[in-house]
């Protein structure tokens, strides 16, 4: 499998952190070898490695090309804090499916809180982006509540709920931005439901009861396909 790495450009040099240095060693890259590197902001670099260390690694930039630019129509997903393995899976797949922004919020009924776990979640987004060769990484936002998270949201909000309108009945404008809201594994509180009903469209994926990560990714897949994010 082709490898792409993440680094931070500083002048004509590329710097790799400890996590990325480990990746370089695991795939047995050697000093003097040319590799592809992204900064996560849409630019891809050709870099000749100068040194590979345990904490830091460095290379010389020989080429740089912008290959992705931020889209005008955004696809976002709001995910309630849940058990780590299930949340991790949802975040990984949201990256692969083309989400432009991932918002992890602490729901009223959430048993976990990731508002102080930014670095941990950023590593998941980075590794998933590299795996599917996304050069423009999704943005990550953390919020202490769904109310704070969507307060200034300009995208059209879809809340996944079995009582809502079936997805296939909703007409999409591909020039608009859309955001999917899914509760944590423990569901929304009554207060959250009332709040969201006033600001969003309730959308149903069908008659089956889906786990929160399954529902989130099913809805994301529908929008990503129609918005040509894949």
User: What is the pTM for the complete model shown?
Assistant: 0.93
The partner residues of 203 in beta bridges, in order of sequence, read: 165
92-138 tens-digit pLDDT: 999 999 999 999 999 999 999 999 999 999 999 999 999 999 999 99
pLDDT-based confidence at 3, cuts 50/70/90? confident
pLDDT-based confidence at 230, cuts 50/70/90? confident
pLDDT-based confidence at 88, cuts 50/70/90? very high
CA 151 to chain centre: 20
Q: What is the residue-averaged pLDDT of the chain?
A: 94
183-220 tens-digit pLDDT: 999 999 999 999 999 999 999 998 888 999 999 999 99
CATH T-level assignment (fold) for domain 4-66:
Ribosomal Protein L25; Chain P (2.40.240)
Q: How much of the chain exceeds pLDDT 90, in percent?
A: 90
- Separation CA 128–CA 15 (nearest Å): 20
Q: Taking a C-beta distance cutoff of 8 angstroms, is the pair 211, 90 a contact?
A: no
Q: Do domains 4-66 and 75-226 have the same CATH topology?
A: no
- Separation CA 141–CA 134 (nearest Å): 18
- More confidently predicted of 44 and 175: 44
Tokens 């991932």, residue? Answer: 102
The yes-or-no verdict on residue 2 having pLDDT over 70 is no
- What is the residue extent of each domain of the chain? 4-66, 75-226
Closest among 98, 75, 71 to 178, alpha carbons compared: 75
* CATH code of the region 75-226: 3.40.1280.10
The yes-or-no verdict on residue 1 having pLDDT over 50 is no
């Amino acid at each position: 499998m082709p490898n792409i790495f993440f680094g931070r450009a500083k002048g004509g040099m590329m710097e790799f952190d400890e996590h990325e240095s480990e990746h370089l060693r695991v795939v047995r890259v050697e000093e003097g070898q040319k590799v592809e590197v992204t900064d996560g902001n849409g630019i891809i670099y050709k870099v000749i490695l100068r040194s590979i260390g345990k904490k830091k690694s460095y290379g010389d930039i020989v080429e740089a090309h912008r290959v992705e630019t931020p889209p005008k129509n955004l696809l976002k997903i709001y995910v309630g804090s849940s058990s780590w393995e299930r949340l991790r899976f949802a975040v990984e797949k949201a990256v692969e499916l083309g989400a432009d922004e991932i918002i992890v919020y602490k729901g009223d009924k959430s048993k976990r809180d990731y508002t102080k776990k930014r670095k941990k979640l950023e590593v998941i987004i980075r590794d998933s982006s590299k795996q599917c060769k996304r050069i423009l990484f999704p943005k990550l936002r953390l919020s202490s509540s769904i109310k704070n998270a969507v307060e200034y949201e300009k995208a059209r909000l879809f809340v996944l709920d079995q009582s809502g309108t079936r997805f296939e009945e909703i007409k999409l404008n591909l020039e608009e931005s859309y955001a999917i809201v899914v509760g944590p594994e423990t569901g929304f509180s009554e207060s959250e439901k009332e709040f969201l009903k006033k600001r969003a469209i309730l959308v149903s994926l069908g008659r089956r009861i889906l786990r929160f990560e399954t529902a989130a990714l099913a809805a994301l897949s529908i929008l990503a396909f129609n918005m040509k994010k894949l």
